Amino acid sequence: MGLSCSLLAQSPHGESFKVNCADCHTADSWDIPADHWTFREASLVKPEVTVLPENAEATVKAIFTHEETNFPLEGGHRTIDCRFCHETMVFSEASTSCVSCHTDVHHMTVGDDCARCHTSDNWLVDNITELHQENGFPLLGMHAQISCNDCHDSESGMQFTRIGNDCINCHREDYLATTSPNHAAAGYSLDCMECHDVNALSWGASILHDFFPLEKGHDIADCNACHINGVYENTPTDCFSCHQDDYNQAANPNHVALKFSIDCKQCHTLDVNWMPATFDHDGMYFPIYSGNHKDEWNDCADCHIGGNLNSFSCIDCHEHNDPNDLADEHDGVNGYIYASPECLRCHPNGD
């Protein structure tokens, strides 16, 4: 009895390990040959095969399973030596924590749960996009194309200290260096997404100017054309505030003399060079954009002599003062008078 107690005390696996020695070892040696184990359903087991009569199937009974340890051997864990994890041979001392076996090359900047990013198959990370989505910073636009180290800067390139999800955390230098417009001087918001589209591939292609669409005639590259001296606050959005000089210099027709409205959009669209105008000349007065007069004139002064819109000329283009023309064209027309207003009275649609 004393000898038996002495032998039990010699077990290198600790007093709490109650598995029969024969479950793993043989009488030949304490060493366990590799072919002693097999994998079944992600568990390391020692099979015990019961040999049946010839042509009968053998049955397998698992004597030991690694599944009982709450650490199933999957992926790369299947091929390593047991001693890599069980250094002391006291199996209960082995931790299931990843960092107990694997050096944390990230220095705890991403926590100690390796399985959050890695699998047991290899260390490659193929779900970086999903991980950023979980952290509240989806990789969109240019952020999906740059290297991790462009944002996560460290000596080893393996530390991923959280830098925050605010744009300014990475782009402060861009903000301070921008001169057209000067963001710092103008007191621009530090939230880049107020003006820039996170889905774009460059800063210039992503200006969000929705409150005043930069399209057609307003599709200009120089911000200072509207924001004088780099001042961006309280810039008026009415046409006349920017286009007063255009209004004053317009001579065909003369906007000032004719007291045109200073609300440019009453007659104009955003098209380049102000044309075509949207003034409803056809419906209100006379069809010049449709009908027989379409494309038959170049300037308002072709019909409105001297630019006076209250004076128009038909007879400068349509001459009927020849007696032969009068007889041919107006024979039998009572009260015919050769004058532009009379032409309009009889030909209100230019037919």
Name the residue ranges covered by the structural domains of the chain. Answer: 12-93, 101-151, 280-351
By CB atoms closer than 10 A (0-12, 13-18, 19+), residue 24 is middle
Please name which of 257, 350, 242, 231 lies closest in space to residue 310, comparing C-alpha atoms.
257
Please, which residues bridge with residue 179 across strands? 182
Please give the DSSP secondary-structure letter assigned to residue 322: S
**Is residue 100 packed enough to be buried (19+ CB in 10 Å), middle (13-18) or exposed (0-12)?**
exposed
pLDDT per residue, tens digit, the chain (351 aa), is 444 444 545 778 888 787 778 777 778 888 876 666 666 655 566 665 555 556 555 454 556 677 777 788 888 887 788 888 888 888 888 888 888 888 888 888 787 888 878 888 888 787 787 888 777 788 888 888 887 777 777 666 677 777 778 888 889 999 999 887 788 887 888 888 888 888 877 776 567 777 788 888 888 767 777 887 766 777 888 889 889 999 999 887 788 888 888 999 888 888 888 877 777 888 888 999 888 999 888 888 888 887 677 889 888 888 776 666 555 677 778 878 888 888 888 888 888
Sign of CA dihedral 103, 105, 111, 117: negative
Contacts of 169 (CB under 8 A, 6+ apart): 163
Q: Which residues of 204-220 are buried (b: 16+ CB within 10 A; e: fewer)?
A: eebeeeeeeebeeeeee
Distance in angstroms (rounded) separating the CA atoms of residues 229 and 219: 19
pLDDT tens-digit profile of 195-231? Answer: 888 887 777 656 777 778 888 888 876 777 788 776 6
Q: Is residue 341 classed exposed, middle or buried when 0-12, 13-18 and 19+ CB atoms within 10 A define those classes?
A: exposed
Phi first, then psi, for residue 174 (nearest 5°) are -60, -45
Q: How many CB atoms lie within 10 A of CB 255?
A: 19
pLDDT at 248: 94
DSSP 8-class letter at 58: P
Question: Maximum distance among all alpha carbons in the chain?
Answer: 151
Neighbours of 44 (CB within 10 A): 19
